[in-house]
Structure 1
């Protein structure tokens, strides 16, 4: 089984890196292969809502000069993924937001029932908002989210400082172990328990 971990920080080895490493260590102990992809330091265009991906081969984004299509393909094939971001003005870092908008717009239909979770790193406040924003993508992608004892947030400012946040470290480790358990449960159910019955999507709006 494989998990793709997305580092949405512009700092390749900042506290978001250390937070992901905690989870990678736990998943690896459980026999799960993890690939970490650095996104936050890249130059990534935001979604322009052109609709190209709905008509293109393999639902690729029209912008092909960055890592979005390549990473989306890896996430589609993986059994699960982790979204991690620092906290910028109580929100997701800008490049990570552009990445997620395009990946989920092109690929949500491929993410259904995959195991996925989110991580926020914060100096002091706003981390809950980041987790909520990341989880919005996971919910609309119809993924299965593993639990933990608290919000999956780690506190720190300088690189590696989050490792001093005992409760945060424990929360991330428990989340990673729950993720490994869910991955194994879903894998064991294949061929024996069918996925929920699908229905044709109904879409409405409120203009009368």
Structure 2
């Protein structure tokens, strides 16, 4: 069992990484392998709506999005972390997720997902709401903790002093590992994913 954690911050080991690392430690303590996928500082283009991915099975812009989707095929769960930029997820992570979920959604469907947010002070709940919408449009069980998944601090050292926030991260990791194990147990005992209905799409203006 493996969980992919995505660091949507341009800082390699900043506040968002510190929170994700705490989740990862909890997952590993519960027997789940982890990998932190760094977006880094390379530019990530937003989705241009060309539809090429529906024909070739991947995004035609060959960057970290396709690299992540390859890894997603073998993952059992996902946690996306973002710093708060103007009360929203980072621009890089937003562009990344738009393309991941458009071109590779089938590799994430029916696998547990969660997000974590990091801020000096405010904007975490708006960012948390934004990121959770990716899961709920793609048949993904959303993993929760004992409070909203957020930490506060302006440096990694300050984040580590957010004792409640760090505990929320550890509980999130334990809850994620529990759900992944439950899903695996179900598969081994003949409980498969729900049979999908043929999609119905309607416009508001007919």
Residue 165 of structure 2 is aligned to residue 157 of structure 1: no
Q: Report whether the alignment pairs 1:127 with 2:124.
A: yes
Rounded to whole Å, the distance in 2 between the matches of 1:160 and 1:189 is 41
Counterpart secondary structure, 2:4: strand
Cα deviation for residue 140 of structure 1 reads: 1.1
The alignment status of 1:173 with 2:170, answered yes or no, reads: yes
Deviations 1:41-77 (A, max 9, x none): 2221111000000111xx200101x211011121132
Q: Is the contact between residue 6 and residue 39 of structure 1 (CA under 8 Å) also seen in structure 2? A: yes
Aligned to 1:115: 112
Q: What's the TM-score once normalised by structure 2's chain length?
A: 0.96
Counterpart in the other structure of 2:196: 198
Q: Secondary structure at the match of 1:36?
A: strand
Q: 1:40 Cα shift?
A: 4.1
1:108·1:140 contact (CA, 8 Å) conserved in 2?
no
What does the per-residue CA deviation read over 1:16-58, in whole Å, with 9 as the maximum and x for residues that have no partner?
A: 01000000100011111101111142221111000000111xx
The answer to whether residue 31 in structure 2 is matched with residue 28 in structure 1 is no
Give the length in aligned residue pairs.
205
Distance in 2 between residues matched to 1:146 and 1:131, nearest whole Å:
12
Deviation at 1:146, TM superposition (A): 1.7
- For 1:8 and 1:171, how far apart are their aligned partners in 2? 19
Structure 2 equivalent of residue 207 of structure 1: 205
Give the TM-score, by structure 1 length. Answer: 0.95
Q: Secondary structure at the match of 2:115?
A: strand
Say which SS state the counterpart of residue 77 (structure 1) adopts: coil
Q: Which runs of 4+ in 1 moved over 6 A?
A: none
Q: Is the 8 A contact 1:40 1:96 kept in 2?
A: no
| Residue of structure 2 in register with 1:16 after alignment | 16
Q: Is the 8 A contact 2:6 2:38 kept in 1?
A: yes
Asked if 1:184 corresponds to 2:185, the answer is: no
Please say if residues 83 and 89 of structure 2, whose CA atoms lie closer than 8 Å, have aligned partners that are also in contact.
yes
After TM superposition, list the pairs within 5 Å mapping 1:39-188 onto structure 2.
39-56=39-56, 59-64=57-62, 66-188=63-185
Contact 2:69 2:107 in 1 (8 A): no
Give a deviation string over 1:105-149, Cα, whole Å, max 9, x none: 011122121011100001111001111111011111211122211
Determine if contact 1:2/1:33 at 8 Å carries over to the other structure: yes
Tell me, in whole angstroms, the C-alpha distance in 2 between the residues paired with 1:42 and 1:205.
37
